[in-house]
Amino acid sequence: MILVDSLSRCYGDFTAVDKVSFEIKRGEIVGLLGHNGAGKTTIMKMLTGFLEPDDGTISIDGLDIQAQAEQVKSRIGYLPENLPLYPEMLVASYLDYAAGLRSLKGASKWQAVRAAIDKTDLRDKSLQPISTLSRGYRQRIGVAQAILHRPSVLILDEPTNGLDPTQTMHMRALIRDCAEHATVILSTHIMQEVDAICDRVMILRNGSLAVDEKLSALGQGKILMLETDVATGDLRRIIEDPSEIINVELKEKQGDVYVHAIQLAEHANPRHAAAAVTQMLVEAGHSVHAVYPYKRDLESLFRDVNAGKEYVDVA
């Protein structure tokens, strides 16, 4: 659906995007994360054809974005961070205008406008000037203009910005609905939005793609946390089956209790490994205070990546 290969973009001596490659399939909802300046907006602008890459290629639906720009753009809906609205226009008039820009005409145009108004819950505001509406309603108008032509790719920059909790829930449902017939890329600073909506996360750091992972895999890493009275060196000697264990690392010491991270081999079964390690320690006369799988959440992953720690996929 979307194929990006070695994408790069510089502004003078500053490299905003550095050889980024990824593939996104139809129907996926992908969260794009990164601190300000990480390259998110530059990538989105290149995906939508607003910026040309210095190097690399972008293919959408098998079409090259540079060689077949108009065909590609007709397949994309885009909500930029700065809303593309005309405050003096009525909501319905603005959406009618935006539909015309998408080459919609006649009955099909009004059907598209009505559908977008219904999906974004703007019926009660459709005849009001945009200037009189709150940030939350303006955000919904921005989404409405992005989905008018039923795009196959929907790129949303901070879609829940300014929305109250009820509006946020509505927006999440709308994005999931759009994903039934479109690929969605969602850029946000709000981790909860990615957790709630997305199937997959891509984290950018200094213009490079540091993480590209399915959210379901983040909590399935094969690492056991072990709390025991055994120091690291003794623990390594007690564990009799090194084929199951890649590494043992002391994470912290709490009084007489040592907290270890045990990284398991890919073929290892975490439950069986936990039982075996517990049995070996008990038979050796030691105490086991706790043993449990380590589950990395998105917030801690984002923090570690931006602290310069390398992400290791152990799922």
Write out pLDDT tens, residues 81-123.
Answer: 889 999 999 999 999 999 999 999 999 999 999 999 999 989 9
Model confidence at 185, pLDDT cuts 50, 70, 90, reads very high
Beta bridge pairs of residue 60: 2, 63
In the chain, the percentage of residues whose pLDDT exceeds 70 is 96
Q: Which of 130, 122, 119 is nearest to 154 (CA)?
A: 119
Within the chain, strands assigned E span 2-11, 14-24, 29-33, 55-60, 63-64, 76-79, 153-157, 183-187, 200-205, 208-214, 223-228, 245-254, 257-264, 288-293
Domains observed in the chain: 2-217 (3.40.50.300), 222-294 (3.30.70.3100)
pTM of the complete model: 0.77
Q: Which of 81, 47, 313 is nearest to 189 (CA)?
A: 81
163 vs 3, higher pLDDT: 3
Query: Model confidence over 262-288: pLDDT tens digits?
Result: 988 888 888 888 999 999 999 999 999
Q: What's the rounded Cα separation, in Å, for the pair 24 and 131?
A: 37
Task: Say whether pLDDT at 238 is over 50.
Answer: yes
